[in-house]
Chains A and B, each alone.
Chain A
Amino acid sequence: AQSVTQPDIHITVSEGASLELRCNYSYGATPYLFWYVQSPGQGLQLLLKYFSGDTLVQGIKGFEAEFKRSQSSFNLRKPSVHWSDAAEYFCAVAGRSYQKVTFGIGTKLQVIP
Chain B
Amino acid sequence: DTEVTQTPKHLVMGMTNKKSLKCEQHMGHRAMYWYKQKAKKPPELMFVYSYEKLSINESVPSRFSPECPNSSLLNLHLHALQPEDSALYLCASSPRDREGYGYTFGSGTRLTVV
Question: Which A residues lie at the B interface, using CB under 8 A?
Answer: 32, 34, 36, 41-46, 49, 51, 90, 94, 96-101, 103-106
The answer on a CB contact under 8 Å between B100 and A43 is no
Selected A-B contacts with CB under 8 Å, 22 pairs:
A32-B102, A34-B102, A36-B103, A36-B105, A41-B88, A41-B108, A42-B107, A42-B108, A43-B4, A43-B6, A43-B90, A43-B105, A46-B104, A49-B100, A94-B100, A99-B31, A99-B48, A99-B97, A99-B100, A101-B103, A103-B42, A103-B43
The answer on a CB contact under 8 Å between A46 and B102 is yes
Q: Is the interface of A mostly helix, strand, loop or mixed?
A: strand
CB distance from B83 to the nearest CB of A (A): 20
Cβ of B43: which chain A residues have Cβ within 8 Å of it? Answer: 44, 90, 103
Q: Which of B88, B103, B107 contacts A46 (CB 8 A)?
A: B103
B114 at the A/B interface (Cβ < 8 Å)?
A: no
CA separation between A32 and B100, bound complex, in Å? Answer: 6
CA separation between A63 and B101, bound complex, in Å? Answer: 18
Cβ of B6: which chain A residues have Cβ within 8 Å of it? Answer: 43
The answer on a CB contact under 8 Å between B99 and A99 is yes
B75-114: CB near A (< 8 Å → 1, else 0) gives: 0000000000000101010100111111111111010000
The answer on a CB contact under 8 Å between B106 and A43 is yes
The answer on a CB contact under 8 Å between B98 and A44 is no
CB distance from A19 to the nearest CB of B (A): 20
| Top 9 A-B pairs, shortest CB-CB distance | A32-B100, A103-B42, A43-B105, A99-B98, A44-B105, A43-B107, A46-B102, A49-B102, A99-B97
Cβ of B31: which chain A residues have Cβ within 8 Å of it? Answer: 99
The answer on a CB contact under 8 Å between B56 and A100 is yes
Q: Which of B41, B48, B98 contacts A105 (CB 8 A)?
A: B41
Closest to A32 in B: B100
Cβ of B94: which chain A residues have Cβ within 8 Å of it? Answer: 99
